Structure 1
Amino acid sequence: MNAAVLDLVDEFTVHTVYTADRLLADMDRNGIDEAVLVGYPICEWTDNWYTLQVAEAYDRLYGIVMLDPFAEGAADQLRRCMETDGILGFRLGAACPADQMWETFDPGVTWLRDAIAETEFWQAAVETDATVQLLCDHGQLDQALELVDRYPGLAYLFDHFAHAGPETPTDEGTFAQFAELAAYDTVAVKVSEIPHMSETTFPYADMHDHVRWFLETFGRERVIWGSDYPNVSDVASYPEARHWLRQVDSLSEGDRAWLTGRAFRRHVGLD
C-alpha cells in the first residue's frame, strides 16, 4: 500500500485494512445482522475483486460494485458481476469526474446525461435486475430525473442526501426535485453519511428536518438508513452512525424498523 493511500485513510479510526471480518465484528458488537458493502476501491476504482469475493463468501454481506458505463465491455462486466451471489447492483459516482468516480467531487459535471445513451449497458442492467445506486449532488438531480425517466423499471438508490447540508432548503431549489423523483415507485433515498453532512455532533439534529422531509415525500417504505461506515469513522463511531436515528423526533419504532432493514430489502427485491 503506497504512501498516498495511507495518507488518505490516516484519519480513519478503524484499521487501515478494514476487512470483512473486522466489519462483521463491528456488526456483532452493535447488533447488526446484515450489511451491504458498497465497493470503494481507492487504488483502482473499478477493481471490484474484494467486493465480489466478500459478497460470495459471507451470507450476511451483500455487495454493490463500481462500474464505468462508458468502458469497453461495460455491459458484459456488469453481467459477470451480477452472476456473483450477493451482488445487488452497481454504483455511479455522478458527483465525480467520469474517469474517477470516487473522492474527487465536481458537482458541475454532466456526464450522467451522456451515460443515458449507453443503451447496451442499461439493457444489461435491466436484464440482470441490477440496483442502481447514485452518488450525485442535489444540483444534478435534473440529470438523474432524465435517467430514471428513460429506465423507470430499474430500482434506484440515492446516496447521502445528494450532498445537501443542513442549510440546504428542502421545499425549494434543486433539492426539491426529489419530490419529482418520488413520483417513481422505483426510487428510494438513503439517509446516510449523516455525520459528514451535519455541522454538529451526535445525534446530528441539524439534519433531522431533512430526514422528516424524506419520510413525508417518499414514505417510510422508500427511505433507507445507511451507516457509511467506516467512511465516517474520522468523525463518528459505529454506534453513533447507527443510533442517531433513535433521536429523530416523530419517528415510531415501526418507522425505524422500515428504515433500518425492511425498506431496503423490499426495494432491492430481497423479500
Structure 2
Amino acid sequence: MKIVDAQVHIWRQTVTPPTGKHRKVTQVTAEEMLKEMDEAGVDAALIHPPMSWDPTSQDMALEAAKKYPGRFAVMGSFDPKDPANKALIPTWRQQPGMMGLRWALLHPPEQKLLHEGALDWIWPEAEKAGLAIGMMGGIFLKEFRGIAERYPNLKLILDHCGLNRLGQDEEAFIHLDEMTALARLPNVAVKMTGAPHYSTQPYPFKNIQDGLHRIVDAYGPDRCFWGTDITRMPCTYRQCVTFFTEELPWLKGQDLEKVMGRSLCKWIGWDYKFD
C-alpha cells in the first residue's frame, strides 16, 4: 500500500519563530523531509508552505515538487486580503506541482476578514477554476458551512480533523456533532492531520480513537485523508503511520488504502501513480 501524507511543512529560514509546537529549528529541507518519510514508510507528501514564518517557503515547496515530482505536491496560498489576486486563480494549477489553496485563518484578524465577508471574492473564483481549498474550519464551523452551502461545487477541506485545535482529549471533540453534521454536504472533506496532537495519552492514543471513528463513519473513506503535520507531532513519524494502519481495527482493506492517500489525491486532482 502506498501512503501519501496530506500535510507536511518545509522551510529554509525563520523570519519569525515557527508557530505553536512546531520544531524550533531554522530550516527543514526537502531532503530532510524525504529522509523522515522514507524511514516512516511514507511514499509522498503534500507540502503546505509555512508562509507565516518563512515568506519564501512557497517557492521552496514548488522547487521541491519540481525536483521530486513523484514525492511532493503543493497546497499553496496568496494574500487573501487583496482582490487583485483574483487574476492568479484561473492559472493557479499551471504551476508545476501546485494542487490547490490553503489558508489556516488561525488568528483573530484573519477570522475577522472571514466573518465580515472580505474573502467572499475567493470562493466563486476557486469553484469556477476547480480548485480545492483547505482551512482550519473547525474553529469557524458556521462560516465554513455557509461557504460550502453557497458554493456546492467548491471542494472544501476541514484541516486537522475539523476539531477544536486548542483542545485535547475530550475538549478537542466539543464540536464533534456540528462537525460531523457537515458531512451531509458532499463538497466537504476532512484532512485527518495532526490527530496525535489531540491526545495527552501516549501512543496509541486510545482516548481519541472513538472520535476519529465517528468522523470516518460520517464522511466515509472517500472524504477522509490521513496526514501528519509531522513537524509538530508528539510522536514519531512511523507512529503517525501505524496509528492508522495498525491501531484502528475498524479501518481496513480498501477503506484504509483510500484514507492513507488515494482519496486525498482524487479530491485535489493529484495524478499520483498508486499502481
TM-score over 0.5 (shorter chain):
yes
Give the match for residue 196 of structure 1: 197
Counterparts of 1:113 and 1:175, CA distance in 2 = 22
Name 2:170's counterpart in structure 1: 167
> Is 1:259 aligned with 2:259?
yes
SS of the equivalent of 1:132 reads strand
Counterpart of 1:203 in 2: which secondary structure? Answer: coil
| Distance in 2, Cα, partners of 1:141 & 1:53 | 34
Alpha-carbon distance between aligned partners in 1 of 2:14 and 2:229, rounded to the nearest angstrom: 24
Distance 1:3 1:43 in 2: 5
Q: Matched residue of 1:40: which SS?
A: coil
CA contact (8 A) 2:14 2:54 kept: no
Between the aligned partners of 2:193 and 2:250, the Cα distance in structure 1 is 19
Aligned to 1:222: 223
* Regions of 4+ moved over 4 Å: 1-4, 7-11, 44-47
Aligned residue for 2:29? 19
Identity of aligned residues (%): 21
Aligned amino acid, residue 259 of structure 2: L
The reply on whether 1:91 has 2:102 as its aligned counterpart is yes
CA contact (8 A) 1:159 1:192 kept: yes
Decide whether aligned partners of structure 1 residues 219 and 4 sit closer, same or farther in structure 2, where only a CA change above 3 A counts: closer
Contact 1:66 1:90 in 2 (8 A): yes
Deviation at 1:10, TM superposition (A): 9.2
2:14·2:26 contact (CA, 8 Å) conserved in 1?
Answer: no
Tell me the CA shift for residue 112 of structure 1: 2.2
1:166–1:207 CA contact under 8 A, matched in 2: yes
Whichever residue aligns with residue 96 of structure 2, its letter is D
Please tell me whether the aligned partners of residues 116 and 150 of structure 1 are also in contact (alpha carbons under 8 angstroms). Answer: no
TM-score w.r.t. structure 2 length? 0.80
Amino acid at match of 2:41: G
* Matching residue of 1:187: 188
C-alpha distance in structure 2 between counterparts of 1:259 and 1:131, whole Å: 17
1:111 aligned residue: 113
* Gap runs ≥5 in structure 1: 100-108
- The Cα shift of 1:9 comes to 8.9
Conserved 8 A contact 1:39-1:64: yes
Residue by residue over 1:188-233, the C-alpha shift from the partner in whole angstroms, topping out at 9 and shown as x without a partner, is 112211221111121111111111001111111111111111232x
Q: Is the 8 A contact 2:155 2:188 kept in 1?
A: yes
Q: 1:37 aligned to 2:47? A: yes
Residue 10 of structure 2 corresponds to which residue in structure 1?
none
TM-score, length-scaled by structure 1? 0.81
Partner in structure 2 of residue 240 of structure 1? 239
The alpha-carbon distance between structure 1 residues 86 and 198, as it changes in their structure 2 partners (threshold 3 A), is same
Distance 1:136 1:257, change over 3 A: same
**Cα offset, 1:80, TM superposition:** 5.2
Q: Mark the CA change 1:151 to 1:55 in structure 2 (over 3 Å): closer, same or farther.
A: farther
Residues 80 and 119 in structure 2, CA contact (< 8 A), matched pair in contact too: no
Q: Do the aligned residues in 2 keep the contact of 1:78 with 1:124 (CA within 8 Å)?
A: yes
- Higher mean alpha-carbon deviation, 145-154 vs 179-188, is at 179-188
Aligned length: 254
Post-superposition Cα deviations, 1:135-154, rounded to whole Å, max 9, x if no partner, equal: 1334x211100011111211
Aligned partner letter, 1:111 = L
Q: 1:229 to 1:250 in 2, by over 3 A?
A: same
1:168: how far off?
4.1
Q: Which residue of 1 aligns with 2:5?
A: none
Which range is displaced more, 59-68 or 40-49?
40-49
Equivalence map 1:85-164=2 (5 Å): 85-99=96-110, 109-115=111-117, 118-119=120-121, 121-138=122-139, 140-164=140-164
Q: Is the 8 A contact 2:76 2:101 kept in 1?
A: yes
In 2, Cα distance between equivalents of 1:11 and 1:218: 28
